[in-house]
Structure 1
Amino acid sequence: MPATLVKAGLLDVVEERKMRGAVERVYALPARGASLDTAAPASVTAAAGRCRRRHADASAR
């Protein structure tokens, strides 16, 4: 879900660290601030639903 927020301009990646084959990212609000258009809440809600389903599927294993 953070990638969706970065694409929407609501978060910035301020640091990346490679750790054992994974990438840890640190996010922050943009210095210019963040604004939403009328479609943004619906897309973020949909992305959150997909994230929850992936997490539930992984937990069921």
Structure 2
Amino acid sequence: MECARKIEDIIDAAIVACLEEYMATGKIIKLDKVLPSDEEIEKLKLKKQKLKRIILTRVASIIFGRR
């Protein structure tokens, strides 16, 4: 349960950072700038590409209004 909460916190923080950058500049920020280190991601037993895909899918659905 603790692990799932950490994952959601990482995803939420990355989404907020992406949306803030998009609203300010009209561009999507590189996710490597907002994600924790590779070691932290591996501790949570996640694949970095899968995490990026989840974040970008959610950001796109917010920006373009799709679900």
On whether the aligned pair clears a TM of 0.5, the verdict is no
Q: Which has the larger radius of gyration?
A: 1
**Greater strand content:** 1
**Greater helix content:** 2
TM-score (normalizing by structure 2): 0.29
